Structure 1
Amino acid sequence: MKKSILFLSAAVTLLATAACQNFKKGDGGLEYNIAKDAGAEKAKAGDLLSVDMIVKSDRNDSLLQSTYDIGLPQIVNIAPDSIPGLYAGDYNSMFKLLGEGDSAIFRLNLDTMAAKTGQPKPEFADKFVTFTVKVRKHFKKGNLTDSALYSQIDSYFKGEIEGLKKSEESKLSKYIADKKLEPKKTATGLQYVISEEGKGNKVMVGDTAVVKYTGRLVNGNIFDTNNAELAKKENKFNPMSPYEPLRFRVGHDPVIQGWTEGFQLLNKGSKATLLVPSSLGYGERGGGTIPPYAPLVFEIELVDVIPGPKTDAPTADSIATKK
């Protein structure tokens, strides 16, 4: 989405700017650099901010979170100072320095956090967690009831999600153009490129497909893979995952419709890329790190095809959402 790309560019500029400037010292060891002050009213207790935010650890500059990956902002609720566990210089304090249109970088001191809260420091950082923040919109509580305030939030997010819906086709087209792909397209909108044609049996409904796969968003971010080396390289490794070829019975086991259709186009031994529109994937709701209306890219290798009984009728799960 073009707007997200612009915000991401602004965030990168912020990080570069901060590297060349000194941070101001705040309460509780908080360090901050207000890169842009738009002059708007600053957030108060009870208000909410819609923000784009990148969160990094000071250990190897590791990325912990980015709203740009999902393409939707995060809503931050400004809590009253009286809430137990809050202290001057904490996460909540950061956002009280900001208003609509402002941009800043904060370094949250983990030693102070541990001392003030009695909780151990997180294992993923040494001394600081860095937040690069851009405020999109300021929702002011004022005299509004909670119902009225959250009605504004609901309307706002509906507009953001509608933007994702409208941009889906262009994002997928850009990915195809950037990768110089020449996919074939089915009647449902599934697109695919077979990079290596298999010599074995073609997949039929009822067969069990044995698959190596990597699933990505069109921005390149991996959301799932059963390739252990790639998972480690991309900081996606989960020690609880088996990292072995996935087995699913085509037309019976609950996978996304794009897989049910796509694997029936392949022979054993095939390697292919499936370009799955959200209508054949996770739809308007998304799932996990997959945003609403997200087109998906699957790099797959069909390792084996285990024949199944061909008399079974496909189940309703054949169009269900995977995982």
Structure 2
Amino acid sequence: MKKSILFLSAAVTLLATAACQNFKKGDGGLEYNIVKDAGAEKAQPGDLMSVDMIVKSDRKDSLLQSTYDIGLPQIINIASDSVPGLYKGDYNSMFRMLGEGDSAVFRLNLDTMAAKTGQPKPEFADKFVTFTVKVRKHFKKGNLTDSALYGQIDTYFKGEIEGLKKAEESKLAGYIADKKLEPKKTASGLQYVIAEEGKGNKAVVGDTVVVNYTGTLVNGTIFDTNNVDAAKKSNTFNPMRQYEPIRFRVGHDPVIQGWTEGLQLLSKGGKATFVIPSSLGYGERGGGKIPPYAPLVFEVELVDIVPGPKGDAPAAGLPVDSLATKK
């Protein structure tokens, strides 16, 4: 937890610095502000870099990507000049200006990119995309074979994921303390707060439940919701999706264990907050926007319960491919 806070603090510092200092002009319309030069050797073609990065467009509500959301860095492959489509001032050029410990802010000119590559400008920005970058580690190709170089990356990421595993307990405790929650806890580790009790019998295995939900990481990042307003506010809105209550059969359809257990605590009309450890969620593999060993928070409303056959047993070995079978 402490490590992630330090990285987030560094990101805030970088953004503040970029806002109050002028950019220098580079090749191809690239603008840059080297916030910190640690004096290390700069990246060369064939090298790899582990970076923390925030990507924003020049429009309102413009956050496109942030490695800080998931707590894992991004690996950048420094390409050779001979790769077709590359040009001075492109995405690759940014990282060749950096070494281990460096931090910088870049503004990539989309007009130049379109002219040089023959590709249309992306729809999510007008003229610039801004990259706020901090280099964690520089992996130098030198005389290493590809297998040796990528072996270093594999070892490095195993260490990063182990760090996430060790930090999970403190993340859970920190979230509960910050939100001033007083949750109940089940034997499995699921923590929950009932906001509204609901009426009637509680859901049981075999019942079909109808649910509204919003799922977040403990840092507040929404990774999934069927609430259209929340989706738009969090820039996760998908115009191809139907934003309506989802339906699934408890113990039979593939949802995370935290949902299967948690929804059996509720009656029709019940509302609750589930704080779900990764052992009841996506575990060591994560998925999509969910990193490995990520505790999850769900605000749920049990809209309806459709009773299933009496004495129904749960399906065995059910895979968990999604939060619910229908979205």
TM-score normalised by structure 2 residue count: 0.97
Secondary structure, counterpart of 2:6 in structure 1: helix
Residue 217 in 1 paired to residue 217 in 2? yes
Partner of 1:12: 12
Instruction: Tell me the distance in 1 between the aligned counterparts of 2:207 and 2:20.
Output: 59
Instruction: Tell me the distance in 1 between the aligned counterparts of 2:208 and 2:305.
Output: 6
Residue 205 of structure 1 contacts residue 310 of structure 1 at CA under 8 Å; is this kept in 2?
no
Residue 67 of structure 1 contacts residue 73 of structure 1 at CA under 8 Å; is this kept in 2?
yes
Instruction: Tell me the distance in 1 between the aligned counterparts of 2:322 and 2:114.
Output: 40
Cα offset, 1:17, TM superposition = 1.3
Instruction: Tell me the distance in 1 between the aligned counterparts of 2:22 and 2:202.
Output: 62
Cα offset, 1:313, TM superposition = 2.2
Residue 260 of structure 1 contacts residue 319 of structure 1 at CA under 8 Å; is this kept in 2?
no
Secondary structure, counterpart of 1:289 in structure 2: coil
Residue 110 of structure 1 contacts residue 121 of structure 1 at CA under 8 Å; is this kept in 2?
yes
Partner of 2:181: 181
Instruction: Tell me the distance in 2 between the aligned counterparts of 1:295 and 1:10.
Output: 23
Instruction: Tell me the distance in 2 between the aligned counterparts of 1:20 and 1:212.
Output: 43
Residue 255 of structure 1 contacts residue 317 of structure 1 at CA under 8 Å; is this kept in 2?
no
Partner of 1:92: 92
Partner of 1:292: 292
Deviates more, 1:288-297 or 1:263-272: 263-272
| Paired AA for residue 260 in structure 2 | T
Deviates more, 1:150-159 or 1:13-22: 13-22
| Residue correspondence of structure 1 range 298-317 to structure 2 within 5 A | 298-317=298-317
| Residue correspondence of structure 1 range 1-323 to structure 2 within 5 A | 1-60=1-60, 62-318=62-318, 320-323=320-323
What's the RMSD between the two structures over aligned residues? 1.1
Secondary structure, counterpart of 1:133 in structure 2: strand
Deviations 1:241-286 (A, max 9, x none): 1111111100100000011111111111110011110000000000
| Paired AA for residue 162 in structure 1 | E
Secondary structure, counterpart of 1:264 in structure 2: helix
Could you tell me which runs of 5 or more consecutive residues in structure 1 were left unpaired when the two chains were aligned.
Answer: none
Instruction: Tell me the distance in 2 between the aligned counterparts of 1:5 and 1:126.
Output: 32
| Paired AA for residue 31 in structure 1 | E
Instruction: Tell me the distance in 2 between the aligned counterparts of 1:89 and 1:66.
Output: 22
Deviates more, 1:6-15 or 1:50-59: 6-15
Residue 272 of structure 1 contacts residue 299 of structure 1 at CA under 8 Å; is this kept in 2?
yes
Residue 196 of structure 1 contacts residue 272 of structure 1 at CA under 8 Å; is this kept in 2?
yes
Indicate the percent of aligned positions where both proteins have the same amino acid: 84
Instruction: Tell me the distance in 1 between the aligned counterparts of 2:206 and 2:93.
Output: 57
Cα offset, 1:46, TM superposition = 0.3
Cα offset, 1:59, TM superposition = 1.3
Cα offset, 1:21, TM superposition = 1.5
Residue 251 of structure 1 contacts residue 317 of structure 1 at CA under 8 Å; is this kept in 2?
no
Secondary structure, counterpart of 2:116 in structure 1: helix
How many corresponding residue pairs?
323
| Paired AA for residue 179 in structure 1 | K
Hey, which bits of structure 1, 4+ residues long, moved more than 4 A? none
Instruction: Tell me the distance in 2 between the aligned counterparts of 1:152 and 1:80.
Output: 20
TM-score normalised by structure 1 residue count: 0.98
Residue 215 of structure 1 contacts residue 297 of structure 1 at CA under 8 Å; is this kept in 2?
yes
Could you tell me which runs of 5 or more consecutive residues in structure 2 were left unpaired when the two chains were aligned.
Answer: none
Residue 33 of structure 1 contacts residue 105 of structure 1 at CA under 8 Å; is this kept in 2?
yes
Instruction: Tell me the distance in 2 between the aligned counterparts of 1:212 and 1:23.
Output: 46
Instruction: Tell me the distance in 1 between the aligned counterparts of 2:319 and 2:250.
Output: 10
Instruction: Tell me the distance in 2 between the aligned counterparts of 1:262 and 1:319.
Output: 18
Instruction: Tell me the distance in 2 between the aligned counterparts of 1:320 and 1:80.
Output: 41
Cα offset, 1:318, TM superposition = 4.9
